[in-house]
Amino acid sequence: MRLVIELEPLSEIPYNYLNKHAIQGLIYYLLKDTSFDNLHSSTKFKYFTFSDIFPISDFKPGFKKTLLFSSPSNELVNELYNSILRYRTVKIKNLNFNIISVKKIKLNLTNRFISGSPIVLYKDNKSNEYFSFDKHNDLNFFLERIKENAIKKYNTYFGESIILNEPIFDKMKFKKEVVIKDFKSGKEFIIIGSVWKLLEKFHIPDHLYNFYEFLMDCGLGEKNSLGYGFINPVR
């Protein structure tokens, strides 16, 4: 399930001023005093993700922005939705935004997706090395790693042991690689991700329907709860 959150900035600021940690901080703030109050401190999968804020342009009063939030947990989505309804304005970083609207939506699964935020994978998480197409140029590694990560998240969430012997996607159209500078507690972090025009599974059999619906709600790759790996279905 998803939330569509429309926001209006109350001051003029550059688009890149708000980073992923700032948006994540807003989500955790809104979940305070709910049943998900301690989600931010969990070391396990958090099972949510969010899109980049769009349209991609500087923030200006009178021009609304949209943020999408998704999770396979309807309870989490409902808690966040009810919390947002209690606010007329919210603060992201040190900036105020009017809440124009928030609504819940349930999307129908398709077999074609587009990335709504960069997909991030570690090449070696022990050395904090991110996978890079520019550096590593290994599509097979990318496909195997996102499949391995997706299966692990799905099995952990549902307590199942699903096995996928086929490629997670059959057709892919690469758009670009991005290097993102993020900041937390005054420290700079460099994250590498990939943006995709198309991620297509030619046919989703009935026994894998829930699996791909889970990916649509939870995100692909790593760092989903930091707003990476968000995917949108396309017709």
Residue type (1 letter), 31: L
Structure confidence at residue 202 as a pLDDT band (50, 70, 90) = very high
pLDDT for the residue numbered 124: 86
Beta strands in 185-221 (DSSP E): 187-200
21, 29, 40, 81: the catalytic one is: 40
CA–CA dist 202, 212 (Å, integer):
12
Structure confidence at residue 16 as a pLDDT band (50, 70, 90) = confident
- Is 40 noted as a catalytic residue in this protein? yes
The strands making up 171-184's β-sheet, listed across from edge to edge, are: 171-184, 187-200, 112-115, 231-233
21, 28, 29, 122: the catalytic one is: 28
Is the entire prediction scored with pTM above 0.85?
Answer: yes
Whether 225 contacts 24, CB under 8 Å: yes
- Name the phi and psi angles at 86, rounded to 5: -85, -5
Q: Is the pLDDT score of 31 beyond 70?
A: yes
- Name the phi and psi angles at 8, rounded to 5: -120, 120
Structure confidence at residue 85 as a pLDDT band (50, 70, 90) = very high
Whether 49 contacts 72, CB under 8 Å: no
Q: Is the pLDDT score of 185 beyond 70?
A: no
Structure confidence at residue 100 as a pLDDT band (50, 70, 90) = very high
**How far, in Å, are 61, 134, 230 from residue 10 at the CA level?**
5, 39, 27
Residue keyed to tokens 């026994």: 207
